[in-house]
Structure 1
């Protein structure tokens, strides 16, 4: 006998209906929230780093087992994140261009992004120059200039053009490093690197070409969207390792970098971190409030990326997480975020390209007894605003600093004096870099009316791991951009976060 649709189900003999429909709930492993996990990793990393420091022999190549383990854990996590960057940037930008094909303000979004890059960089360099004159780090330093040597890596204004032109379709490069092995011989190590800026250029060209190809490119775009979904799922798995990566990164930092070297450069280090704090906790909040955005919501949403940037010291390594918090936590449409965040990761560096070179140039001038004129300070501001783009094909604040010093005609040997504590300063610089890289897309999206304001106001680190949200472009496509992602319809799909099993 067939049971009619909607009729109550008959239970087997001896069992009630409730017995057959009630299932035993699965036991789930309880874990603290993601933010708490990262903080626990940070605290445990500091403790293990201190233990490794007490064990001695923490120098590279001759480190004790604990320091080596911490280094391996931290570097492996950053390597995993960097491995995701090339496919993520390429696929996301090509997909975003396809989604923006019907948007009339796409060019305006790009120009607004570049404009706010320049505005925030100009404010940051003004803060750096002001604090440099206030602290007089070179005049108050006990550091000697004897034996100072110029560094081998320098920045050039031609680097921007060289960085734009891809050497191959994937924007990849290879280098060979020769070093002495344990037996006294020479060992060659070949490594593969990539330029995010070149990948951005390639992706933009491919995306535009796909649009111009019309229906013939639809299968390609379908595969691209599918591949992006897969890459984002892998990224989701890697980001879950952030607490473990934080443990290794901060532990290795505590065990390796000479905190005692801060003494002769104490005034300089205090000036740098004061400038970073002013930009992060004063300038950025003022910009947020001026644009009608809640300060607490921004830091609550962007904090996972800022935190990882501090311990990893890599804007590119943090790029996948930065893009995810901008989309998931801060409510920026993916179609815009997938373009703005990778571009910001290569050219938007308020810490490394504005605050640091401004204060460092003043330090080098003072320690070598060179007086700077008003024109020199204007040059510092100009280099800081434009120079980050000029060094986009390269990495590290040292390149930006050498570009600033060479433009001012200051001794490049001064850079060598600052390298001893550069890793310590680089933590704060990178955190501010990433905060700015999340800030600008959020502000531009708000000004253009495409920000999901309800999602922004309820930002939480746990939104990164909401299993109930599909990683699709349905809510961030052209229609959403035209209508404004802050509408009730866009916000109505939000659900409560689920437990991490």
Structure 2
């Protein structure tokens, strides 16, 4: 049959839905998770070569590649946080029982943080991470900016509207966005143009960030390679117990506590959760930024059956306050580590203070790369030397990867639990959430509806 003799139906089939992957054979397409894995392996190899053979230009190149990738992620952080929080607050007007959903979300943030900090304290007490390291107080240095409760509380309110964006003070940006969001709700229809503009800007920022996310495999090569080349295995060996504690603690929360909560509380299949949430978890591991991963986290949360209006509130809220890795497990183990290095005895009161700081002060981490602010807040509360922060900065990039992956998993987990408990979770969508949204970003964006209707909570 000639090409001209094709039936109208066949011709329509050829033109209605073009195959986005027709230019590249399917078997030649590399899944995004595989690209990340290749980047990890290549980064380790190049880092080892650069360090072993003292290839200075390679070290510089890896540093530039990694720092450029992180810089691109951070470039969108300030406006992304502002418009995401503003829009998320206004979206609550579309949700039945909005106040109840917000309260339940915060409650589960606190519950999971308490569990995580308890695991961190237990591991630290069992393993004594600061003993036998060969490190001394002289190896530490006082950080340039030491956090305290007074600094934290007074630092939330900005003195002007420009500085928080130029200095990337996420807490102050969140404060301004929350005020703006509430104001938009109070003004009503007159503020509709502002809301529409905010939604458009947010969509633009998310699209631009998706393009940056596609560069993650390249960024992985630079970040991992420079970590190996700069720090080396000798440094890592000094922190071997501490590093292992962080990874084990995060793994227990990520693959132990979270599945139990999903099975027992939400009554859903934990395996399906990881199938759906894995793209966000793996990107968080590489990027070390909860806010940078936020668009992916929100996409996977929606694909797990959480209503869009609720997810658009819970995920941005979690990206700036929900930090089981950085604000619970890490400061618990780090405080024990620093206390042992400086030969300071911790008692029951100090352990309770660590738990308190982890639950109440977790917003201090603000979803950015690293948890230095949270650590200084914890050490200052316990009266431990600030030089301990300097001791841990050397190993921070290595442990931060697992911390951030745990953070992001928790940020997707809580909306699923709350939605399931409130009977607004689309369980059919949850059971089918297995496709990775990072394999074909544009295709997935088309599958997520711009608007959705949240059914009334039972």
State the TM-score, normalizing by the size of structure 1: 0.79
| Matched residue, 1:3 | none
Q: Is the aligned partner of 1:18 residue 2:19?
A: no
Summarize the Cα distance change of 1:377–1:96 in structure 2 as closer, same or farther, 3 Å threshold.
Answer: closer
- Say which of 428, 453, 467 aligns to 2:427: 453
| Matched residue, 2:329 | 355
Superposition map of 1:295-374 within 5 A:
295-327=270-302, 329-374=303-348
| Matched residue, 2:182 | 208
Distance 2:93 2:255 in 1: 37
- Say which of 16, 24, 45 aligns to 1:29: 24
Summarize the Cα distance change of 1:201–1:339 in structure 2 as closer, same or farther, 3 Å threshold.
Answer: farther
**Residue 194 of structure 1 aligns to a residue in which SS?**
coil
Per-residue deviation, residues 55-92 of structure 1 (Å, max 9, x unmatched): 415xxxxxx33232222222222222223333333334
Task: Please state how far the C-alpha of 1:153 moved relative to its aligned partner.
Answer: 2.6
How much is the aligned-residue C-alpha RMSD, in angstroms? 2.9
Summarize the Cα distance change of 1:387–1:213 in structure 2 as closer, same or farther, 3 Å threshold.
Answer: closer
**Residue 480 of structure 1 aligns to a residue in which SS?**
coil
| Matched residue, 2:98 | 106
Distance 2:240 2:189 in 1: 62
Distance 1:359 1:221 in 2: 43
Task: Please state how far the C-alpha of 1:284 moved relative to its aligned partner.
Answer: 1.4
Task: Please state how far the C-alpha of 1:134 moved relative to its aligned partner.
Answer: 0.8
Summarize the Cα distance change of 1:15–1:126 in structure 2 as closer, same or farther, 3 Å threshold.
Answer: closer
Distance 1:15 1:229 in 2: 42
Task: Please state how far the C-alpha of 1:156 moved relative to its aligned partner.
Answer: 0.9
**Residue 462 of structure 1 aligns to a residue in which SS?**
coil
**Unmatched 5+ residue regions in structure 2?**
none
Distance 2:362 2:398 in 1: 21
Summarize the Cα distance change of 1:335–1:421 in structure 2 as closer, same or farther, 3 Å threshold.
Answer: same
For the 8 Å contact 2:119–2:329, the answer to whether it is kept is: yes
**Residue 167 of structure 2 aligns to a residue in which SS?**
strand
Task: Please state how far the C-alpha of 1:300 moved relative to its aligned partner.
Answer: 1.9
Task: Please state how far the C-alpha of 1:375 moved relative to its aligned partner.
Answer: 1.7
Distance 1:373 1:335 in 2: 45
For the 8 Å contact 1:160–1:392, the answer to whether it is kept is: no
Superposition map of 1:23-62 within 5 A:
27-30=22-25, 31-56=29-54
Per-residue deviation, residues 97-123 of structure 1 (Å, max 9, x unmatched): 443324341111211121111111111
Summarize the Cα distance change of 1:401–1:414 in structure 2 as closer, same or farther, 3 Å threshold.
Answer: same
Summarize the Cα distance change of 1:100–1:139 in structure 2 as closer, same or farther, 3 Å threshold.
Answer: closer
| Matched residue, 2:400 | 426
For the 8 Å contact 1:92–1:228, the answer to whether it is kept is: yes
| Matched residue, 1:225 | 199
Summarize the Cα distance change of 1:16–1:103 in structure 2 as closer, same or farther, 3 Å threshold.
Answer: closer
| Matched residue, 1:95 | 87
State the TM-score, normalizing by the size of structure 2: 0.86
For the 8 Å contact 2:139–2:391, the answer to whether it is kept is: no
**Residue 6 of structure 2 aligns to a residue in which SS?**
helix
| Matched residue, 1:159 | 151
| Matched residue, 1:413 | 387
Distance 1:232 1:152 in 2: 33
- Say which of 122, 129, 132 aligns to 1:130: 122
- Say which of 126, 137, 140 aligns to 1:145: 137
- Higher-Rg member (1/2): 1
Distance 1:471 1:225 in 2: 19
Superposition map of 1:54-93 within 5 A:
54-56=52-54, 64-93=56-85
Task: Please state how far the C-alpha of 1:124 moved relative to its aligned partner.
Answer: 0.9
Distance 1:151 1:102 in 2: 45
Distance 1:305 1:447 in 2: 23
* Pairs aligned (count): 444
Per-residue deviation, residues 192-249 of structure 1 (Å, max 9, x unmatched): 3323333333333323322333332333333333333333333333322222222322
Summarize the Cα distance change of 1:172–1:387 in structure 2 as closer, same or farther, 3 Å threshold.
Answer: closer
Per-residue deviation, residues 414-452 of structure 1 (Å, max 9, x unmatched): 333333322222222222222222222222222222222
